[in-house]
Every structure is written in structure tokens, then in C-alpha cells.
Structure 1
Amino acid sequence: MSARNAYEPYLYQEVLVSPLYLAGSDGTGDAGFAPVAHWPHHHLDDGPCQHLVTSPDQRIRIGWFGDDFELWKITAAEDAVSAPRWMATFNHVTPAEIVAGLTTALAHDYAEADSYDANARFLTNPSRLWPEAIRPLTDAGWTRDAAERGTVEFSSPDGQAGVLIDNRRSSWDARTVELWAGPPGWATRAEAVFTTRTPSHLIAATAAAMADSAPVIRERHQVHREMEHLVTLTPVGSASPQTSQIPQPSRSPTPLDVRRTAVTQAVHRATRAPRTAAALRVMAARSRTASSTRTGAPSPVPTAMPLLSPSAPRRSR
């Protein structure tokens, strides 16, 4: 066996990565789509948006652009044909588990709203108090930094992540809140950007996912070499403080266990409001999805869709 072949099993070993915000992408959008698995899915292989998930009334749109730097584009509008009221974008380095913080909150808001409700929570104006949007970060120990006039900046305790709030802009599509993590660079910096009218609680739900201390699962080769010295890597099944943060049965956690835990934690963060009948129906749908995965039945999550890395060549017909 050549040295290269002997090294390959190590590269594909599954590891738990912490902190989450430095884990990078796993090459799929599964975690981000999981909270809305019960919504309509549209496969658009021929366009720049390769996969689109919409709310049943199409007011919320979650687009996955498999070949672009801006990998995710998420919008909400007053009706199916109106211009977006706000937009959130996530680049190709952002872990999908962070995107799940937003999609979980959107699924909850939609379940709470009446049909075509103009006052649906996902369409509300943001709070005039900017701390509301980043409270999960300040609660996690992020501290304020010096910033330009009209802006506010906070950074994580390790200095490897931050948030920038720009209060100088007012147009609907202005980029007013930016979450980032990792060293500068196309392949190393994760970025999540929200436009002016994004509801504060949706930004907070995303920030809560970013601040989550639980590790996420990756294969070793998916962790960029420039990030290896900044993260903690623990082989799946190894006993460590990181693994103890994930509820485990008597056996070692499987990759599926870890993925389910990440989604469940995102759901708990974004659904702290009292549960209505509509919200319970959504949760029941998620339960059926998880049950079908355990029994081998087909799952509505598009795990087989052609999710390509940003550097992969586009597929031609």
C-alpha cells in the first residue's frame, strides 16, 4: 500500500470540531434544510440556485447556490410576488448548523402565523435597540471592541469570531449586521450578513447557533489546514469534555446522532415561546422525519441532491 493510500483513511476519519463557528462547511446543506424538511423543495440544477425551499405560500425562500461564494440566500416577502422585505446571506465557509439557527426560527414563525398574515413575526420590523439582535453573543461572553463612528463591534473570547453592526445605512438592502468567524481569506472566513429590515429575533436565533458550545461533526479533510491549530478535533467515539456536551446513549455517538443533536439544539433555541398547536404540528413533522431515517424509510431531506463545493466545476448536460 502506498503512503498516500495509507493516509486516506485518516483524512476521512469523522471528528467532532469545536468551536462550531470555525468548523467550516461539510459540503452539504443538510443541517440548514432539516428544520424546513416538510416545506416544498424545488431542484433547479440548471440555474445558479441549485436548490430552493419555500414556505407553502412562498413568502419565505431559502436558496442554496452550490457554486457561489454566497452559498445561501434567504428572504421573506409580504406575498409570493413581492420584493423581499429582508435578505440574509451565508458564504460557502459558514457551517450549515449556523444557518439552521435561522431556518429553525423561520419554521417556527411560519407555524405561528395565520395564512397570509401581514403581521407575521418573520416580517416584523427590527428592534430599535441593537443589543437585542446579538444578546446570545454577549450572554456567551463576547466583548465590545473599538469601532468606527456609527458602528458597533463585538468579538468572541478567543478573538476568532465577531459581529459588526452598521447603523449608518438605511436602504432595505444595506448590509447592516455581519457575523464573521475565522482568519481573513476566501477559504477560511465564514460570513453571515443581514440587511436593514431583518427582524432582530431572527438575527438573534442565528447568533445563538453561532455561540453554541456543542461540537459538530466533520471529516478531517473538511477542516481547512489553516484552521487546524484554532480548533479542537476529537475522533468520534473518543471520551473527552467535548463529547460529554452531547447527550449520548450507552454506546458511542454515531455521525447521525451528532447531526440530530445539532438540529434538536437549534430547534430548542428558537422555540422558547409557548408551543401552540401549529408549532406542535411542525415538531411532529420533524419527528416523523427522524423516525423515517431510523427505519430506513425515504426521508424528505434532500440528502441526495447534487450539493457541490464552491470550487467544484459546474455540471453540464
Structure 2
Amino acid sequence: MHTPDTSYLYEEVLVSPMYLAGSSGVGDAGFAPVSHWPHHYLDAGPCQLLVTSPDQRIRIGWFGDDFELWRITAAQEAASATRWTATFNHVTPPEIVAGLTTALARDYAEADPYDSNGRFLANPSVYWADAVRPLTDAGWKRGAPAERGTVEIVAPDGQAGVVIDNRPSGWDDETVTLWAGPRGWGTRAEAVFTARTPSHLIAATAAVMAQSAPVVRERHQIDRRVEHLVTLTPVAQTVTVAPATEPSVSRAPTPLDVRRTAVTQAVHRAARAPRTAADLRVMAAQSRSAGTAQYRPGSPVPAAAARPSANSSTPRRSR
């Protein structure tokens, strides 16, 4: 039996579309926008890392061994009931999580410190389209809903979408689900938002899904069942050094090369985009190379051994 060459499996590749890239195994990209917030490392319990806003009204939990890898909440007061919840499963690219954490960091920075409210606690729009406008603006179209009372928007390739449940529901019911990839525990990414999640936060997350820019992964991180749906380009082929006195020479890039290239491209795109979209593009580009970082003290625990939680096999409301 032929064993794949180890160096080949760990080769860095650019994965497109990004929403099918899967998790990088670490949450660096998702935590990057809030790296300046307090970090709480928990030795016991399923939540291994909790990052909170300084007043603890926003909480970003990393469940390294769970099916729902991320759990993000907001409340009016540190000890009050949760206003809304967003969860991201273990297949979701952390770059998509960064869309939400970037918007939260911005909302918190702009909030009045003497006001117990903030934009991150705003009531959602009465128009469901406001939450998914970045997708429809990018050419995603309405598909056939699986159930009456729901709306589904699907990507042009049919491999990603969003389901909006417009049926009467409680405040804590899950009403918006962003998804990508074939159905299956190891292949489908899901981001789920409860009813009171502000529309602009869902839109910020969706905006990252709508981007065409690829992300960096190692080959072994791409599920074999998804390989035929993505384009993989070796990073070594994308960086060319051309000294003034020598012919162009292709070489394998360093992590710094990848980061510089990604950020430069993002800045050029941002200059031609509206401000809010620009912020997200730059953030996604800056985090593009973080997914390949090795685990180190202070980083979220690797999720390579992620397994379903006790209730993960119990489906949510059928969609």
C-alpha cells in the first residue's frame, strides 16, 4: 500500500472557495480581532478558552473538543441573561468566525462606556434580507426552501447557503443558519444565530463567506470528501522573487511572505470597497496565514481531535 509523502501532506495550499476550507485546527484567526481583550484559560470543563470584553458583556468561548467549537454570546450586563448566541461548529473556517469577532470588537470600541446598551445589543431588523445582503449582493440566489416559512439563499456553486426561519419563535430559538459543504459531521460547516442576534453582525459574518479570496491550509486539513469541490494551489507557486540583477526565481515562501502578500492584496481590495466591507477584507487577509501556525502556549487548543458532544447527533429543528 502506498503511503503519501509526508512533505506533500503538509504542503501549504491556497484553498478556494474559502468556505469549503474547513477548520485550520486552531482559532487564531477568530481570536485575532479581540486579542487585546482579557483571556481566561480554563483547565476544567468543555470550554478551554474564554475571551471576554473588558466588562464581560461579550463572551467568546473556545470548546476545543466539542462539535460546536465556538460559542459567542452578548448580554446587557455581565451577570444578566444572554441576549443572543452564535455557535460555529468544528468544520467552520476560523476566518468566518473572524467576521463576527471583528464586528464585535468594533461595536464595543464605539459603544458609550456609560450606556448599558451598545450596537452589539441592537434589535435585529424586521427585514430578513438585511442580515444576508452581502450574499445577495455577491450573486447568491434564493433556492427552494426545505420547509414552509423558511427562506434559503444559495451560492452560485450550490455548495454554501443560508437558511432563515421566519416562523414565530422564541427569543432563544435558532433562526439563521449559514452553512457550507456537503452534509456530514466532518464536511458541513455551520454558523447558527439565535433570534435576537443583531442583523449587522450576521451580515458581517456572511460578508466573509461571500469573499472570493482563498485561505491557506495544509493539504491534510482538507477533507477527502471535499477535495473535488475546491481548487488547491500550492503556495510555493504563488510567490516569485525577482532580483534586479538575476532572472526571476520561484521559491517556497516563508510565513512572512504569505502574510505580506495576503495583506497587500487585501489593502488594494479595501481601497475600492465600502468601509465596512473593507474592514472585513483586511481582517480576513491578515488572518489568512494564522491557520497554519503551530500550537504554542497561549494559543487555543488544537481541534484536530474534535469529536461530537453528547447531544451533537440530536438534530436541531429540521430545516
Scaled to the shorter chain, the TM-score interval is: 0.7 to 0.9
2:142 to 135, 141, 144: 144
CA contact (8 A) 1:155 1:163 kept: yes
Match of 1:16 among 11, 14, 17: 14
Q: 1:68-99 CA deviation, whole Å, 9 max, x = no partner?
A: 10000000000100111000000000000000
Kindly indicate whether residue 92 of structure 2 is the aligned counterpart of residue 94 of structure 1: yes
* 1:35 to 1:302, Cα distance in 2 relative to 1, 3 A: farther
For the residues of structure 2 that align with 1:102 and 1:263, how far apart are their CA atoms?
22
Structure 1 residue 135 displacement after superposition: 0.6
Partners of 1:306 and 1:149 lie apart in 2 by 41
Q: In structure 1, what residue type is equivalent to 2:169? A: S
Q: CA deviation at 1:183?
A: 0.3
Q: Distance in 1 between matches of 2:18 and 2:79?
A: 36
Aligned to 2:303: 308
Distance 1:68 1:169, change over 3 A: farther
After the TM superposition, which parts of structure 1 deviate over 6 Å for at least 4 consecutive aligned residues?
268-271
The CA distance in 2 between the partners of 1:16 and 1:224, in whole Å, is 15
CA, structure 1 residues 262+121, in 2 after alignment: closer, same or farther (shift >3 Å)?
farther
Contact persistence 1:92–1:310 (CA under 8 A) = no
Residue 7 of structure 2: SS of its match in structure 1?
Answer: helix
| CA apart distance, 1:3 | 5.7
SS at match of 1:17: strand
SS at match of 1:137: helix
Residues 212-260 of structure 1 show CA distances to partners (whole Å, capped at 9, x for unaligned) of 11100000000000110000000013149xxxxxxxxx98754455457
Matched with 1:213 is 212
Task: Choose from 44, 50, 53 the match for 2:42.
Answer: 44
Identity across matched positions, percent: 69
In 2, distance between residues paired with 1:22 and 1:83?
A: 34
Q: SS where residue 158 of structure 1 aligns?
A: coil
Which of 256, 275, 293 in structure 2 is aligned with 1:272?
275
Can you list the C-alpha shifts for 1:248-290, whole angstroms capped at 9, x where unaligned? xx98754455457479959x699936xxxxx9xxx9xx9xx99
- The count of aligned residue pairs is 281
**Pairwise CA RMSD:** 3.2
Q: Does 1:159 align with 2:154?
A: no
CA distance in 1, matches of 2:202, 2:265: 19
Tell me, which stretches of 5 or more residues in structure 1 are unaligned?
241-249, 274-278, 294-300
Shift of 1:200: 0.4
In 2: Cα distance, 1:125 partner to 1:139 partner: 23
For residue 125 of structure 1, report the CA deviation from its aligned partner: 0.2
The amino acid across from 1:30 in the alignment is D
**Gapped regions of structure 2 (runs ≥ 5):** 240-249, 291-295, 309-319
Match of 2:127 among 121, 126, 129: 129
Alignment partner of 1:49: what SS?
A: coil
User: What is the rounded CA distance, in whole Å, between the counterparts of 1:264 and 1:202 in structure 2?
Assistant: 25
2:19 touches 2:92 (CA, 8 Å); kept in 1?
yes
Deviation at 1:304, TM superposition (A): 3.7
Deviation of the 1:305 alpha carbon: 4.2
Deviation of residue 134 (structure 1)? 0.3
Q: Does the 8 Å contact 1:126/1:197 carry over to 2?
A: yes
Classify the secondary structure of the residue corresponding to 2:43: coil
> What residue identity is the alignment partner of 1:52?
L
Q: Aligned in 2, Cα 1:84/1:136: closer, same or farther, shift over 3 Å?
A: same
Preserved CA contact (<8 Å) 1:172 1:197: yes
